[in-house]
Amino acid sequence: MPVPNRAGLNIVKLDVKDVRFPTSLGGHGSDALHTDPDYSCAYVTITTESGKQGFGLTFTSGRGTEIIVLCIRSMKRFVVGKNAADIFADFATFWRAITNDSQMRWIGPEKGVAHLAVAAILNSLWDLWARLENKPVWRLLVDMEPEELVSTIDFRWITDVITKEEAIQLLKSKKAGKEGRIKTLLENGYPAYTTQAGWLGYSDETLKKLCEKYLKLGFTHFKVKVGLNFEDDYRRCSAVRRYIGDDKVLMVDANQAWSVNEAIEWMKRLAPLKPMWIEEPTSPDDVYGHAAISKALAPYGIGVATGEMCANRVMFKQFLQSGGMQYCQIDSARIGGINEILSVYLMAEKLGVKVCPHAGGVGLCEMVQHLQYWDYACLSGTMEGRLVEYVDQQHEHFIDPCVVENARYLAPKLPGYSTQFLPGTIEKFGYPRGSEWQRMFKEGVFPPPDEAETVNA
């Protein structure tokens, strides 16, 4: 699959918007460390000379989105004036340039604000590429030859685990049966689990209703937030276990609340409820800590899941090497776009770790379905023990929202990466000028923005 013709593909504009949804009003998304999230995003639109567009975003949690937006504005210089076809033809070099600018890398490198900004920009480029090919992103990926796919990846700092040549061989070795697997995906979709029943902010009544609702919808895997108070956790997890029965699967998620030893002790006490995994037991940076927790909990049949706040492929490499991660939860908007995420999938496959993407937020479900489709068709070749997170929120803002039926993500069909907003979304939820925010400021539902939050408006 050759890259597109250069004609008309000079990128003439990169626009970025601060978009926030007032989710804190309902306690949606609340967990041990994130008590009042307003699900938000920095939303990028790139436009070529010929008027082709790409849309990409990085998820945020409300305050601070203005900083990502400014960072993306500062990174325009890497994109505007470039030809998109040239970028795609040597994508790894472009990736290196935007992540490792001699001056800007000091404020990263490859982590935090700077890398979230890179993710939004890279996501918009992949969206553009797929639209140019008139394919959903997963088909764009699936149709690439191993050499082409691997050419988008910067292997710096991971060659001790996987080299470019090994990656190509690994993909080649998985080609048999690919068409059959694509057919399976198109017919049956990809399994999802729900986090919807288990937010910390929900009452017991809500919990019960939601378990019943998602059981009826065909879900078999349920995730519950834990970590603030053991007695409360035990009561809520017991209730969920009772509602879903012993044949269904329970996972728990502490969102980094514990120290290493606390995590081990807490989970030993929750072990009778048979959770399949404990997610984010401690600091997202603590590889050694996760390895210690994994080792201690293995005899109880509890695995460790983490990744949504894992900063980059070097951190993933270590989690995968160390035995500290039994479920690799890649995030579509934190590490540097599909280019870097592919390298994580390849390392996980080589080291025999299951990838179960993090989703929810804004647009994350829309994006990760494409990645996991590619993984099944071209890399792991199996759905065994693998699921994609599903949270039924914020999908209504997108032109091409993900579709989950009978607890399976159905194949995205429209060209692109599925994160283009509907007309009107930015007019309503753009922060702070959007009409919904202006109304809420006026009615006193939210305080007015800080002066720092208005610099991009």
Q: Does 25 bind a second copy (CB under 8 A)?
A: no
Task: Count CA within 13 A, CB hemisphere, residue 155.
Answer: 15
Q: Which of 152, 196, 318, 369 binds a second copy (CB under 8 A)?
A: 318
40-59 binders of a second copy (CB under 8 A): 59
Report residue 242 as tokens: 């009772």
Q: Which two tokens stand for residue 343?
A: 């390298």
Considering beta carbons, is residue 10 or 100 the nearer one to a second copy? 100
How far, in Å, CA of 400 to CA of 386, rounded?
24
Helix, strand, or coil (residue 195)? strand
Kindly tell me which residue out of 4, 54, 108, 432 binds a second copy, with binding defined by CB under 8 A. Answer: 108
Is 393 within 8 Å of 40 (Cβ atoms)?
Answer: no
Fill in the DSSP letter of residue 55. Answer: E
Residue from 113, 153, 278, 344 binding a second copy (CB under 8 A): 113
Report helix, strand or coil for 140: helix
Close Cβ partners of 92 (under 8 Å, ≥ 6 residues apart): 151, 152, 153, 154, 155, 339
Q: Which amino acid is at 80?
A: V
- Short-list 434, 31, 12, CA closest to 256: 31
Q: For the chain, what is the radius of gyration of the CA atoms?
A: 21
Q: For the segment 378-417, give every residue that binds a second copy (CB under 8 A).
A: none
Among 228, 249, 309, 403, binds a second copy (CB under 8 A): 309
Contact 152, 10 (CB under 8 A): no
Q: Are strands 190-198 and 408-409 parallel, antiparallel or unpaired?
A: antiparallel
Report the residue number, 182 or 335, with the smaller CB distance to a second copy.
335
Alpha-carbon gap, residue 275 to 241, rounded angstroms: 9
Choose between 258 and 374: whose C-beta lies nearer to a second copy. Answer: 258
* Euclidean distance between CA atoms 369 and 332, whole angstroms: 10
Q: Which of 22, 44, 66, 328 contacts a second copy by CB under 8 A? A: 66
Looking at residues 269 to 298 of the shown chain, list those that interact with a second copy (rule: CB under 8 A): 282-289, 292
Instruction: Return the number of the residue (148 or 436) whose C-beta is nearest a second copy.
Output: 436
Q: Which stretch binds a second copy (CB under 8 A): 138-146, 243-251, 422-430, 448-456?
A: 448-456
Q: How far is the CB of 383 from a second copy (least distance, A)?
A: 30
By annotation, the residues acting in catalysis are 225, 358
Residue 116 binds a second copy, judged by CB under 8 A? yes
322 binds a second copy (CB under 8 A): yes
Half-sphere exposure of 92 (CA within 13 A, CB side): 13
State residue 269 phi and psi, 5-degree precision: -75, -25
Piece of 62-70, 178-186, 271-279, 380-388 that binds a second copy (CB under 8 A): 62-70
Closest CB to a second copy among residues 69, 182: 69
Kindly identify the residues of this chain, within the stretch 146-205, that bind a second copy according to CB under 8 A: 156-157, 159-160
Stretch that binds a second copy, among 113-121, 206-214, 296-304, 378-386 (CB under 8 A): 113-121
Which region, left, alpha or beta, applies to residue 246 given φ > 0 means left and ψ of -120 to 50 means alpha? alpha
Q: How far apart are CA 66 and CA 69, in angstroms?
A: 5
Residue among 9, 44, 67, 171 that touches a second copy (CB under 8 A): 67
Does 107 bind a second copy (CB under 8 A)? Our answer is yes
Q: 36, 90, 143, 436: which one contacts a second copy (CB under 8 A)?
A: 36
β-strand 408-409 against 404-405: which pairing, if any?
A: antiparallel
Q: Applying CB under 8 A, which part among 125-133, 182-190, 310-318, 391-399 lies near a second copy?
A: 310-318
Query: Of 245 and 447, which has the nearer Cβ to a second copy?
Result: 447
Q: Which of 46, 79, 114, 378 binds a second copy (CB under 8 A)?
A: 114
Burial class (CB in 10 A: 0-12, 13-18, 19+), 177: exposed
CB of 261 to a second copy, least distance (A): 6
Count of residues of this chain found to bind a second copy when the rule CB under 8 A is applied: 71
Kindly list the distances between the CA atom of residue 120 and the CA atoms of 50, 123, 128, 177, 355, in Å, as whole numbers in the listed order.
22, 5, 12, 33, 22
Q: Is 267 in the site for a second copy (CB under 8 A)?
A: no
Specify the residue, 185 or 364, whose C-beta has the smaller distance to a second copy: 364
With contacts defined by CB under 8 A, name the span among 136-144, 317-325, 402-410, 424-432 that binds a second copy: 317-325
Answer whether 403's CB lies under 8 Å from 388's CB: no
Q: How far apart are CA 98 and CA 102, in angstroms?
A: 10
Stretch that binds a second copy, among 47-55, 87-95, 219-227, 256-264 (CB under 8 A): 256-264
Measured from the CB atom, the residue of 1 and 445 that comes closer to a second copy is 445
Within 76-105, the residues that bind a second copy by CB under 8 A are 76-77, 100-105
**Which residues have CB under 8 Å from 352's CB, separation 6+?**
none
**Closer residue to a second copy in complex, CB, 77/439:** 77
Is 117 in contact with 42 (CB distance < 8 Å)?
A: yes
448: contact with a second copy by CB under 8 A? no
